[in-house]
Chains A and B, each alone.
Chain A
């Protein structure tokens, strides 16, 4: 077949390379379109409908959004989600960077420590949550026993206290996520040319100065990536909170994804649930766009 076709004298660059390009991304794009893009668009449409997944949907316009902004639970969840992100993002970032720098040196058993820190990330989340709950148990948990032993008479109630439940969740999530971001930072550190450090050393720069003026600026692309990923994952947090506190006590750790889950899957109000997920989408998108702008400006 191919032999009978006259070979084109010269491939016309524009169109054919576009097709080649498309064909390369097609397998991935088909999956993305079917499993992500279509549901996202469907969710946008659903947010203007009243639908229980069974009977035929009914157009309600902005009613879902109106209900959302007048709903106290939505605002509580938004506040909690922001609280979580504000705690989780910087702490994970600093911890991941710190451990990456520490484990980038030629130390004995460095491989062991790298693996150990990565372990939480690949451990079953349900097991992680159960263990953390036991560690943080107010009466008999080792954490509070230790705190009592060093003279703190009334240690926090952790997951059973409205004040301390969110810090407890943040603590567990930092512990869980830092291994993954540490690996990203380790990869970033490998790309920094050793000559820069040698030159700085010759000029008499201290360890801190080298870190401050070589490591941190050279890692900017990695930091940017880590920051974006962390922010998005923080706002989307669901699994850890669901298995650790189920949003409680009361509503003190209720996050937006849980509201979406409860309203949609549990209560069958898919329209309202979609409206909340649209709100979450807009929030995450806005923050990401701002981060991109800020990154571009600081590159100039």
Chain B
């Protein structure tokens, strides 16, 4: 560290001198303004990006932020390719922690350990996900976790009180889903909709049983799978095979009233808020805590933080760092909350900002949902994560389509993780 100090200082001094002389350095434009590029996804439909950019530009009038918009589905691959090609986009959004660990361990990101140490880990529940052997390469600005969305009108029609969702167990959820299922054919209303992702079953099980998704022993999946398969068999859930082959979107299922209950991440609330505002949907929605194994009043859910990182190839690293720090700060968190998204920084003030938004459910059930007692990481960060993720996804498909029995599927997961990854 010390060895680099002198040249770094010298370089910084030279740079300061050049800048002072009036733009000898190539970075700032003629009028002294600097532009940093920010890689993000679906700019038009992801409101917090604009909120952060606007807020940051206001706080730092000398820096312009230029979004580099990438399709959400292609984001990870696109960024990987960009980095492999030596692209110099300054700030990169870390869509999930698995990608983050890949970029971080490969040395493609600027270390932000000092900046991360300044943050209070008690307030940033997602922060430790970015700890790679004591080093940090990104700062979280947003933390999503899973809750249970419900259609208020349909629940009322069925005569179920909303307070019933305050402290719901998975068994209660299953019972409710079966009783709420109505109709058939095109007009069928499913009691619940569980999206095709493996996390709906697997990460829930891991978080609520306190088990390790990378451990290679997956017996703890069984209860959650049994429940899901049983609901599917009863017709209370859309069959996984149909949802997958039709590429059904969870938004369509919920916002058009085709499902009453839906476990989903908090990011969906911002979509619902925006769509309601734009008149795209008229669904009356509420939020409840994710159902639990035990009804002791404690809420354990899972989620994943989203972070900004600085590209190693960035030519404006200082301005980029400023941006990353601002987004993680209280000012950034306020901007994120005002956009209807749950920020990484959690405090009563931020929560109040969130609940003050028009359209956000105000009742006690919702307040409990947005304050879970424990948020486990959706997928632990390790160099094995993406391999295990791939493998668990493959076996999840087989179990959900009934191509493999639950016991065989779980046994195969354990076997393959031990043989192929371990």
Contacts and interface: CB of A to CB of B under 8 A. Distances in A.
Interface of A: 52-55, 71-73, 130, 133-134, 136-141, 157-162, 247-251, 262, 265-268
Contacts of B245: 133-134, 136-138, 141, 158-160
A268 B390 CA distance: 14
Nearest to B105: A52
Contact of A251 (B83, B106, B242, B394): B394
B419 to A, nearest CB: 7
A160 B244 contact: yes
A266 B241 contact: no
Contacts of B107: 54-55
15 contacts: A52-B106, A73-B420, A136-B245, A138-B241, A160-B240, A247-B394, A248-B394, A248-B397, A249-B397, A250-B397, A250-B404, A251-B394, A266-B80, A267-B102, A267-B386
Given A54-B107, A250-B398, 5 more contacts: A55-B106, A136-B245, A139-B241, A162-B403, A266-B386
A134 B106 contact: no
B108 A54 contact: yes
B401 A160 contact: yes
B: contact size bracket:
20 to 34
Contacts of B240: 160
B10 interface: no
A54 to B, nearest CB: 5
B397 A268 contact: no
Interface of B: 76-77, 80-81, 83-84, 102, 106-108, 239-242, 244-247, 386-387, 390, 394-395, 397-398, 401, 403-404, 416, 419-420
A53 B241 CA distance: 37
A186 B149 CA distance: 58
Contacts of A251: 394
Scoring A72, A136, A250, A268 by chain B CB atoms within 10 A of each residue's CB, the highest score goes to: A250
Contacts, number: 79
Contacts of B239: 138-139
A85 B395 CA distance: 25
A162 B81 CA distance: 32
A265 B81 CA distance: 7
Nearest to B239: A139
A267 B384 CA distance: 10
Contact of B80 (A130, A137, A141, A268): A268
A140 B403 contact: no
Nearest to A130: B247
Nearest to A251: B394
For the complex of A and B, list the 8 residue pairs with the smallest distance between their C-beta atoms, beginning with the closest. Answer: A160-B241, A53-B84, A249-B397, A250-B398, A137-B245, A54-B106, A139-B242, A162-B403
Nearest to B394: A250
Contacts of B246: 133-134, 137, 140
Given A54-B84, A249-B401, A268-B106, A72 B244 contact: no
B237 to A, nearest CB: 13
Nearest to B246: A137
Contacts of A137: 242, 245-246
A253 to B, nearest CB: 11
A140 B242 contact: yes
A72 B76 CA distance: 26
Contacts of A133: 245-247
B34 to A, nearest CB: 26
Contact of B419 (A72, A158, A250): A72
A160 B397 CA distance: 8
Contacts of B419: 72
B100 to A, nearest CB: 13
